[in-house]
Amino acid sequence: MEQLALAFESAAEPLLRPRYRVGRDGLIEDFCDVRHVYGFWGRLFGCWRVDAATGRSRAVLPGHPVIGARGIAAATAFTHPVLGPRTPMDVESRYRARAAFAAFFAEIPSRIRCIVAPMGGYQWAALDLIRLEPDFARFAEDALSQGRGHSLYASLALADLASKGRAARAAFAAGLMRDRRRDTLARLSGRPASAALLRALDRLPEGPCARRTYETLIALYADPAKARALGHLPAIAPLHLDLLDALPPGLARASLVAFLAARPKAASLAAALVALLDRLPGEIRPRAEQGLVRVDSEAGLARWVARWSRRAEAAAPFPAPPFPGGGRLAPLCSAAALRREARVMNNCLDRMAGKVLSGGAYFYRWTGETRADVMLARDARGRWRFDTALGPANRPLDRQTRTRVMADVRAAALATGGRR
Protein backbone atom coordinates (compact mmCIF):
# COMPACT_ATOMS: atom_id res chain seq x y z
CA MET A 1 0.00 0.00 0.00
CA GLU A 2 1.37 3.39 -0.98
CA GLN A 3 1.74 5.90 1.84
CA LEU A 4 0.89 9.54 1.31
CA ALA A 5 3.30 12.23 2.49
CA LEU A 6 1.36 14.38 4.93
CA ALA A 7 2.08 18.08 5.29
CA PHE A 8 3.09 18.03 8.95
CA GLU A 9 4.55 21.33 10.12
CA SER A 10 7.71 21.59 12.18
CA ALA A 11 7.21 22.53 15.81
CA ALA A 12 10.70 24.03 16.00
CA GLU A 13 9.49 27.57 15.31
CA PRO A 14 6.12 29.32 15.60
CA LEU A 15 3.95 29.26 12.49
CA LEU A 16 2.95 32.49 10.79
CA ARG A 17 -0.68 32.99 9.87
CA PRO A 18 -0.72 36.09 7.67
CA ARG A 19 -3.95 37.83 6.74
CA TYR A 20 -4.48 39.26 3.26
CA ARG A 21 -6.76 41.96 2.00
CA VAL A 22 -6.91 43.99 -1.18
CA GLY A 23 -6.66 47.76 -0.92
CA ARG A 24 -7.16 50.38 -3.56
CA ASP A 25 -3.48 50.42 -4.52
CA GLY A 26 -2.24 46.95 -3.68
CA LEU A 27 -2.21 43.71 -1.73
CA ILE A 28 -1.83 44.12 2.04
CA GLU A 29 -0.27 41.32 4.12
CA ASP A 30 -0.38 41.42 7.94
CA PHE A 31 1.31 39.01 10.33
CA CYS A 32 2.45 39.65 13.90
CA ASP A 33 3.47 43.30 14.06
CA VAL A 34 4.68 43.44 10.46
CA ARG A 35 2.79 44.59 7.39
CA HIS A 36 3.90 44.25 3.78
CA VAL A 37 2.21 46.29 1.10
CA TYR A 38 2.60 45.10 -2.51
CA GLY A 39 1.71 47.83 -4.99
CA PHE A 40 -0.34 46.78 -8.01
CA TRP A 41 1.29 46.80 -11.45
CA GLY A 42 -1.17 49.38 -12.72
CA ARG A 43 -0.70 51.68 -9.71
CA LEU A 44 2.67 52.08 -7.94
CA PHE A 45 4.39 48.72 -8.30
CA GLY A 46 6.72 47.82 -5.46
CA CYS A 47 6.97 46.34 -1.98
CA TRP A 48 7.03 48.20 1.32
CA ARG A 49 7.47 46.99 4.88
CA VAL A 50 5.36 48.90 7.40
CA ASP A 51 6.00 48.89 11.14
CA ALA A 52 2.61 48.43 12.78
CA ALA A 53 3.69 50.28 15.94
CA THR A 54 5.14 53.40 14.31
CA GLY A 55 3.46 53.37 10.90
CA ARG A 56 6.82 53.98 9.24
CA SER A 57 7.49 52.24 5.94
CA ARG A 58 10.56 51.41 3.95
CA ALA A 59 10.90 50.02 0.45
CA VAL A 60 11.91 46.37 0.10
CA LEU A 61 13.29 44.68 -3.00
CA PRO A 62 12.32 40.98 -2.73
CA GLY A 63 15.09 38.61 -3.76
CA HIS A 64 13.19 35.35 -4.16
CA PRO A 65 11.56 33.94 -7.32
CA VAL A 66 7.94 35.05 -7.51
CA ILE A 67 6.91 33.78 -10.96
CA GLY A 68 7.13 30.20 -12.13
CA ALA A 69 7.92 28.72 -15.51
CA ARG A 70 6.15 30.09 -18.58
CA GLY A 71 5.10 33.16 -16.60
CA ILE A 72 2.67 31.35 -14.31
CA ALA A 73 2.00 33.68 -11.44
CA ALA A 74 2.48 31.19 -8.63
CA ALA A 75 4.35 27.91 -8.74
CA THR A 76 3.04 24.80 -7.00
CA ALA A 77 5.74 25.12 -4.34
CA PHE A 78 4.89 28.55 -2.94
CA THR A 79 7.79 30.93 -2.27
CA HIS A 80 7.13 34.06 -0.24
CA PRO A 81 8.59 37.06 -2.13
CA VAL A 82 10.24 38.57 0.96
CA LEU A 83 10.69 35.68 3.40
CA GLY A 84 11.57 32.94 0.92
CA PRO A 85 10.52 29.30 0.42
CA ARG A 86 11.00 28.22 4.05
CA THR A 87 8.51 30.68 5.51
CA PRO A 88 6.91 28.85 8.48
CA MET A 89 3.20 28.82 7.61
CA ASP A 90 0.52 26.24 8.32
CA VAL A 91 -1.07 24.50 5.34
CA GLU A 92 -4.16 26.72 5.22
CA SER A 93 -2.13 29.96 5.43
CA ARG A 94 0.21 28.77 2.69
CA TYR A 95 -2.78 28.01 0.46
CA ARG A 96 -4.25 31.47 1.06
CA ALA A 97 -0.90 33.16 0.44
CA ARG A 98 -0.46 31.29 -2.82
CA ALA A 99 -3.93 32.35 -3.98
CA ALA A 100 -3.37 35.98 -2.96
CA PHE A 101 -0.07 36.29 -4.81
CA ALA A 102 -1.39 34.43 -7.83
CA ALA A 103 -4.05 37.09 -8.20
CA PHE A 104 -1.51 39.86 -7.53
CA PHE A 105 0.94 38.74 -10.22
CA ALA A 106 -1.84 37.95 -12.67
CA GLU A 107 -2.27 41.72 -13.11
CA ILE A 108 1.18 41.90 -14.71
CA PRO A 109 0.96 41.43 -18.51
CA SER A 110 1.74 37.84 -19.48
CA ARG A 111 4.52 38.95 -21.87
CA ILE A 112 6.32 40.70 -18.99
CA ARG A 113 5.91 37.67 -16.74
CA CYS A 114 7.35 35.39 -19.43
CA ILE A 115 10.37 37.67 -19.87
CA VAL A 116 11.30 37.69 -16.16
CA ALA A 117 10.35 34.05 -15.42
CA PRO A 118 13.91 32.65 -16.04
CA MET A 119 15.54 35.32 -13.86
CA GLY A 120 15.19 33.59 -10.50
CA GLY A 121 15.93 35.85 -7.56
CA TYR A 122 16.33 38.85 -9.87
CA GLN A 123 12.70 38.69 -11.05
CA TRP A 124 11.38 41.42 -8.80
CA ALA A 125 14.29 43.74 -9.61
CA ALA A 126 13.62 43.24 -13.32
CA LEU A 127 9.88 43.88 -12.87
CA ASP A 128 10.68 47.05 -10.96
CA LEU A 129 13.00 48.33 -13.70
CA ILE A 130 10.46 47.45 -16.42
CA ARG A 131 7.76 49.38 -14.58
CA LEU A 132 10.07 52.39 -14.30
CA GLU A 133 11.51 52.10 -17.85
CA PRO A 134 9.16 50.10 -20.14
CA ASP A 135 11.89 49.68 -22.78
CA PHE A 136 13.83 47.60 -20.29
CA ALA A 137 11.49 44.68 -21.09
CA ARG A 138 12.78 44.43 -24.66
CA PHE A 139 16.36 44.93 -23.46
CA ALA A 140 16.10 42.05 -20.97
CA GLU A 141 14.35 39.85 -23.52
CA ASP A 142 17.12 40.43 -26.06
CA ALA A 143 19.87 39.80 -23.48
CA LEU A 144 18.38 36.45 -22.49
CA SER A 145 17.63 35.29 -26.03
CA GLN A 146 21.17 36.18 -27.19
CA GLY A 147 22.89 34.28 -24.37
CA ARG A 148 23.96 37.42 -22.48
CA GLY A 149 21.86 36.72 -19.42
CA HIS A 150 24.76 36.56 -16.96
CA SER A 151 25.93 40.04 -17.89
CA LEU A 152 22.44 41.26 -17.02
CA TYR A 153 22.27 39.23 -13.80
CA ALA A 154 25.72 40.41 -12.74
CA SER A 155 24.69 44.03 -13.26
CA LEU A 156 21.51 43.54 -11.24
CA ALA A 157 23.42 41.74 -8.49
CA LEU A 158 26.14 44.39 -8.18
CA ALA A 159 23.89 47.44 -8.48
CA ASP A 160 22.57 47.24 -4.89
CA LEU A 161 19.17 48.39 -6.13
CA ALA A 162 17.54 47.90 -2.72
CA SER A 163 19.38 50.96 -1.39
CA LYS A 164 18.41 53.22 -4.32
CA GLY A 165 15.35 55.40 -4.73
CA ARG A 166 12.98 55.17 -7.68
CA ALA A 167 14.71 57.92 -9.65
CA ALA A 168 18.12 56.29 -9.18
CA ARG A 169 16.74 52.90 -10.24
CA ALA A 170 15.19 54.42 -13.35
CA ALA A 171 18.54 56.06 -14.18
CA PHE A 172 20.28 52.72 -13.65
CA ALA A 173 17.91 51.01 -16.09
CA ALA A 174 18.51 53.70 -18.68
CA GLY A 175 22.28 53.43 -18.27
CA LEU A 176 22.16 49.66 -18.50
CA MET A 177 20.39 49.89 -21.85
CA ARG A 178 22.67 52.64 -23.13
CA ASP A 179 26.20 51.70 -22.01
CA ARG A 180 28.48 48.86 -23.08
CA ARG A 181 28.39 45.80 -20.85
CA ARG A 182 32.09 46.16 -20.07
CA ASP A 183 31.66 49.74 -18.95
CA THR A 184 28.66 48.90 -16.79
CA LEU A 185 30.41 46.03 -15.03
CA ALA A 186 33.57 48.06 -14.50
CA ARG A 187 31.58 50.90 -12.97
CA LEU A 188 29.57 48.62 -10.67
CA SER A 189 32.49 46.45 -9.54
CA GLY A 190 35.24 49.04 -9.42
CA ARG A 191 37.50 46.68 -11.41
CA PRO A 192 38.46 46.54 -15.09
CA ALA A 193 36.09 44.45 -17.22
CA SER A 194 37.63 42.86 -20.31
CA ALA A 195 36.15 41.10 -23.31
CA ALA A 196 37.54 37.87 -21.82
CA LEU A 197 35.45 38.49 -18.71
CA LEU A 198 32.31 38.79 -20.84
CA ARG A 199 33.15 35.50 -22.55
CA ALA A 200 33.66 33.88 -19.14
CA LEU A 201 30.25 35.12 -17.99
CA ASP A 202 28.71 33.40 -20.99
CA ARG A 203 30.33 30.09 -19.92
CA LEU A 204 28.60 30.03 -16.52
CA PRO A 205 25.77 27.51 -16.05
CA GLU A 206 22.37 28.42 -17.43
CA GLY A 207 20.28 30.47 -15.04
CA PRO A 208 21.14 33.25 -12.59
CA CYS A 209 23.96 32.90 -10.06
CA ALA A 210 24.40 34.46 -6.64
CA ARG A 211 26.02 37.86 -6.29
CA ARG A 212 29.12 36.29 -4.73
CA THR A 213 29.70 34.23 -7.88
CA TYR A 214 29.82 37.33 -10.07
CA GLU A 215 32.00 39.23 -7.59
CA THR A 216 34.47 36.32 -7.44
CA LEU A 217 34.62 35.95 -11.22
CA ILE A 218 35.32 39.65 -11.73
CA ALA A 219 37.97 39.64 -8.98
CA LEU A 220 39.71 36.59 -10.50
CA TYR A 221 39.98 38.33 -13.85
CA ALA A 222 42.05 41.03 -12.14
CA ASP A 223 44.74 38.35 -11.56
CA PRO A 224 46.47 37.44 -14.88
CA ALA A 225 47.40 33.90 -13.78
CA LYS A 226 43.89 33.08 -12.62
CA ALA A 227 42.36 34.75 -15.66
CA ARG A 228 44.45 32.45 -17.88
CA ALA A 229 43.26 29.41 -15.93
CA LEU A 230 39.63 30.44 -16.36
CA GLY A 231 40.22 30.97 -20.06
CA HIS A 232 41.22 27.31 -20.43
CA LEU A 233 38.13 25.92 -18.70
CA PRO A 234 35.53 24.88 -21.30
CA ALA A 235 32.72 25.64 -18.85
CA ILE A 236 32.81 27.58 -15.60
CA ALA A 237 30.89 26.48 -12.51
CA PRO A 238 30.66 28.43 -9.23
CA LEU A 239 32.76 25.67 -7.62
CA HIS A 240 35.57 26.35 -10.11
CA LEU A 241 35.55 29.99 -9.03
CA ASP A 242 35.62 29.14 -5.32
CA LEU A 243 38.54 26.76 -5.83
CA LEU A 244 40.53 29.17 -7.95
CA ASP A 245 39.86 31.93 -5.43
CA ALA A 246 41.24 29.75 -2.63
CA LEU A 247 44.34 28.55 -4.51
CA PRO A 248 47.56 30.62 -4.56
CA PRO A 249 48.75 32.00 -7.93
CA GLY A 250 51.30 29.19 -8.29
CA LEU A 251 48.44 26.66 -8.46
CA ALA A 252 46.29 28.63 -10.89
CA ARG A 253 45.97 25.89 -13.52
CA ALA A 254 42.79 24.84 -15.27
CA SER A 255 43.78 21.17 -15.07
CA LEU A 256 44.22 21.29 -11.29
CA VAL A 257 40.96 23.19 -10.77
CA ALA A 258 39.06 20.65 -12.88
CA PHE A 259 40.74 17.75 -11.05
CA LEU A 260 39.86 19.13 -7.60
CA ALA A 261 36.31 20.01 -8.64
CA ALA A 262 35.69 16.34 -9.46
CA ARG A 263 36.71 15.21 -5.96
CA PRO A 264 34.26 14.84 -3.04
CA LYS A 265 34.30 17.84 -0.69
CA ALA A 266 36.45 19.74 -3.17
CA ALA A 267 36.48 23.01 -1.22
CA SER A 268 37.68 21.32 1.98
CA LEU A 269 40.32 19.42 0.02
CA ALA A 270 41.63 22.62 -1.57
CA ALA A 271 41.78 24.33 1.83
CA ALA A 272 43.75 21.39 3.26
CA LEU A 273 46.23 21.46 0.38
CA VAL A 274 46.80 25.20 0.78
CA ALA A 275 47.26 24.75 4.54
CA LEU A 276 49.89 22.08 3.86
CA LEU A 277 51.72 24.39 1.44
CA ASP A 278 51.65 27.18 4.03
CA ARG A 279 53.53 24.91 6.43
CA LEU A 280 56.44 24.46 4.03
CA PRO A 281 59.55 26.68 4.14
CA GLY A 282 59.62 29.27 1.37
CA GLU A 283 62.64 27.77 -0.38
CA ILE A 284 60.92 24.43 -1.09
CA ARG A 285 57.33 25.58 -1.57
CA PRO A 286 57.72 26.28 -5.35
CA ARG A 287 58.82 22.67 -5.91
CA ALA A 288 55.79 21.43 -4.02
CA GLU A 289 53.48 23.62 -6.11
CA GLN A 290 55.07 22.38 -9.34
CA GLY A 291 54.43 18.82 -8.25
CA LEU A 292 50.83 19.49 -7.28
CA VAL A 293 49.83 21.06 -10.60
CA ARG A 294 50.98 17.84 -12.32
CA VAL A 295 48.77 15.60 -10.18
CA ASP A 296 46.07 13.88 -12.23
CA SER A 297 44.97 10.88 -10.15
CA GLU A 298 43.92 9.93 -6.64
CA ALA A 299 47.08 7.87 -6.22
CA GLY A 300 49.24 10.75 -7.39
CA LEU A 301 47.52 13.11 -4.96
CA ALA A 302 48.02 10.67 -2.09
CA ARG A 303 51.74 10.38 -2.90
CA TRP A 304 52.08 14.15 -3.10
CA VAL A 305 50.34 14.66 0.26
CA ALA A 306 52.45 11.97 1.95
CA ARG A 307 55.72 13.37 0.62
CA TRP A 308 55.12 17.00 1.44
CA SER A 309 53.46 16.27 4.79
CA ARG A 310 56.72 14.65 5.82
CA ARG A 311 58.67 17.66 4.57
CA ALA A 312 56.36 20.01 6.45
CA GLU A 313 56.70 17.99 9.63
CA ALA A 314 60.46 17.93 9.23
CA ALA A 315 60.57 21.69 8.89
CA ALA A 316 58.17 22.47 11.73
CA PRO A 317 59.69 23.23 15.16
CA PHE A 318 58.67 20.75 17.83
CA PRO A 319 56.93 21.95 21.00
CA ALA A 320 58.94 21.91 24.20
CA PRO A 321 59.19 18.45 25.76
CA PRO A 322 57.15 17.64 28.88
CA PHE A 323 60.45 17.68 30.84
CA PRO A 324 64.07 18.21 29.70
CA GLY A 325 65.25 14.71 30.56
CA GLY A 326 68.60 13.97 32.13
CA GLY A 327 70.79 11.00 32.92
CA ARG A 328 69.81 8.17 30.63
CA LEU A 329 66.76 10.03 29.19
CA ALA A 330 67.03 12.52 26.32
CA PRO A 331 64.05 14.07 24.49
CA LEU A 332 63.87 13.77 20.70
CA CYS A 333 63.17 17.42 19.96
CA SER A 334 62.99 17.51 16.16
CA ALA A 335 61.84 15.53 13.17
CA ALA A 336 65.49 15.04 12.25
CA ALA A 337 66.13 13.50 15.67
CA LEU A 338 63.23 11.12 15.15
CA ARG A 339 64.58 10.10 11.75
CA ARG A 340 68.06 9.42 13.16
CA GLU A 341 66.60 7.40 16.03
CA ALA A 342 64.43 5.40 13.63
CA ARG A 343 67.51 4.43 11.60
CA VAL A 344 69.45 3.39 14.69
CA MET A 345 66.57 1.52 16.33
CA ASN A 346 65.00 0.12 13.16
CA ASN A 347 61.52 1.37 14.05
CA CYS A 348 58.88 3.79 12.74
CA LEU A 349 59.69 6.90 14.78
CA ASP A 350 60.35 8.79 11.54
CA ARG A 351 56.58 8.68 10.93
CA MET A 352 55.63 10.00 14.36
CA ALA A 353 56.40 13.69 13.93
CA GLY A 354 52.72 14.45 13.36
CA LYS A 355 51.81 13.07 16.78
CA VAL A 356 54.38 15.33 18.41
CA LEU A 357 53.33 18.41 16.45
CA SER A 358 49.68 17.83 17.36
CA GLY A 359 50.61 17.76 21.05
CA GLY A 360 49.43 14.21 21.63
CA ALA A 361 52.77 12.46 22.18
CA TYR A 362 56.47 12.97 22.87
CA PHE A 363 59.43 10.60 22.47
CA TYR A 364 62.62 10.10 24.49
CA ARG A 365 65.78 8.05 23.99
CA TRP A 366 66.81 5.87 26.93
CA THR A 367 70.44 4.76 26.97
CA GLY A 368 70.67 2.11 29.64
CA GLU A 369 71.94 -1.43 29.42
CA THR A 370 69.49 -1.98 26.58
CA ARG A 371 68.77 1.03 24.43
CA ALA A 372 65.04 1.91 24.29
CA ASP A 373 62.65 4.50 22.92
CA VAL A 374 60.03 5.88 25.30
CA MET A 375 56.67 7.35 24.35
CA LEU A 376 54.71 9.71 26.59
CA ALA A 377 51.07 10.45 25.70
CA ARG A 378 48.46 12.86 27.00
CA ASP A 379 45.49 11.40 28.82
CA ALA A 380 41.89 12.61 28.58
CA ARG A 381 42.66 15.39 31.09
CA GLY A 382 45.66 16.64 29.14
CA ARG A 383 48.28 15.26 31.54
CA TRP A 384 51.40 13.46 30.36
CA ARG A 385 51.52 9.75 31.11
CA PHE A 386 54.02 6.99 30.43
CA ASP A 387 52.69 5.07 27.43
CA THR A 388 55.24 2.56 26.22
CA ALA A 389 58.93 1.71 25.97
CA LEU A 390 60.38 -0.58 23.30
CA GLY A 391 63.81 -1.80 22.38
CA PRO A 392 65.48 -2.11 18.94
CA ALA A 393 63.08 -3.18 16.16
CA ASN A 394 60.21 -2.58 18.59
CA ARG A 395 61.12 -5.58 20.73
CA PRO A 396 59.48 -5.62 24.18
CA LEU A 397 61.76 -4.87 27.13
CA ASP A 398 62.28 -7.35 29.92
CA ARG A 399 60.52 -6.56 33.18
CA GLN A 400 63.63 -5.32 34.96
CA THR A 401 64.62 -2.91 32.15
CA ARG A 402 61.07 -1.62 31.81
CA THR A 403 60.97 -0.92 35.56
CA ARG A 404 64.22 1.08 35.32
CA VAL A 405 62.89 3.07 32.37
CA MET A 406 59.70 3.95 34.24
CA ALA A 407 61.68 4.93 37.31
CA ASP A 408 63.89 7.26 35.26
CA VAL A 409 60.84 8.84 33.63
CA ARG A 410 59.22 9.40 37.02
CA ALA A 411 62.37 10.87 38.52
CA ALA A 412 63.00 13.22 35.58
CA ALA A 413 59.41 14.44 35.59
CA LEU A 414 59.35 15.07 39.33
CA ALA A 415 62.73 16.81 39.25
CA THR A 416 61.34 19.48 36.94
CA GLY A 417 57.88 19.74 38.53
CA GLY A 418 56.30 17.71 35.73
CA ARG A 419 53.69 15.00 36.18
CA ARG A 420 53.76 11.50 34.81
At residue 8 the predicted structure's pLDDT band, cuts being 50, 70 and 90, is very low
CB 218 within 8 A of CB 227: no
Question: Band of the pLDDT at 57, cuts 50, 70, 90?
Answer: confident
Whether 394 maps to a domain, the answer reads yes
Give the mean pLDDT of 202-223. 95
- 279 falls within a domain: no
Distance separating alpha carbons of residues 233 and 253, to the nearest angstrom: 9
Whether 12 has a pLDDT exceeding 80, the answer reads no
Segment 109-127 shows an average pLDDT of 94
Could you write out the three-class secondary structure of the chain? CCCCCCCCCCCCCCCECCEEEECCCEEEEEECCEEEEEECCCCCCEEEEEECCCCCEEECCCCCCCCCHHHCCCCCCCCECCCECCCCECHHHHHHHHHHHHHHHHCCCHHHHHHHHHHHHHHHHHHHHHHHCCCHHHHHHHHHHCCCHHHHHHHHHHCCHHHCCHHHHHHHHHHHHHCCHHHHHHHHHCCCCCHHHHHHHHCCCCCCCCHHHHHHHHHHCCCHHHHHHHHCCCCCCHHHHHHHHHCCHHHCCHHHHHHHHCCCCHHHHHHHHHHHHHCCCCCCHHHHHHHHHCCCCHHHHHHHHHHHHHHHHHHCCCCCCCCCCECCEEECCCHHHHHHHHHHHCCCHHHCHHHHHCCCEEEEEEECCCEEEEEEEECCCCCEEEEEEECHHHCECCHHHHHHHHHHHHHHHHHCCCCC
Tens digits of residue pLDDT in 267-303? 999 999 999 999 898 899 999 999 999 999 999 999 9
- Residue 350, domain extent: 329-415
pLDDT tens digits, residue range 336-348?
Answer: 899 999 999 999 9
How many folded domains does the chain comprise?
Answer: 1
Q: Is residue 403 part of a domain?
A: yes
Q: pLDDT, tens digit, for every residue of 234-272?
A: 999 999 999 999 999 999 999 999 999 999 999 999 999
* Model pLDDT for residues 171-190, shown as the tens digit of each residue: 999 999 999 999 999 999 99
Quick check: 419 pLDDT over 50?
no
Name the band, by pLDDT with cuts 50, 70 and 90, for residue 13. Answer: low
**Per-residue confidence (pLDDT) for residue 34, from 0 to 100:** 85
Is the predicted pLDDT of residue 78 greater than 90, yes or no? no
Share of the chain above pLDDT 70, in %: 94
Domain assignment of residue 397, yes or no: yes
Q: For 69-83, 153-167, 189-203, 267-281, which range has the lowest pLDDT when averaged over its residues?
A: 69-83
Picking from 48-62, 115-129, 216-230, 382-396, which range would have the lowest pLDDT averaged per residue? Answer: 48-62
Classify residue 373: in a domain, yes or no: yes
The answer to whether position 396 is within a domain reads yes
Lowest mean pLDDT, pick from 83-87, 98-102, 330-334: 83-87
Helix 285-293 / helix 254-261 crossing angle, nearest 10 deg: 70
How high does pLDDT run on average in the chain? 89
Q: Is residue 58 part of a domain?
A: no
Is residue 418 scored above 90 in pLDDT? no
Up-side HSE of residue 379: CA atoms within 13 Å toward CB?
8
**Residue 372 in domain:** yes
Selection from 125, 141, 164 nearest residue 46 by Cα = 125
Greater confidence (64 vs 416) lies with 64
Q: With a cut of 60, say whether residue 46 has pLDDT above it.
A: yes
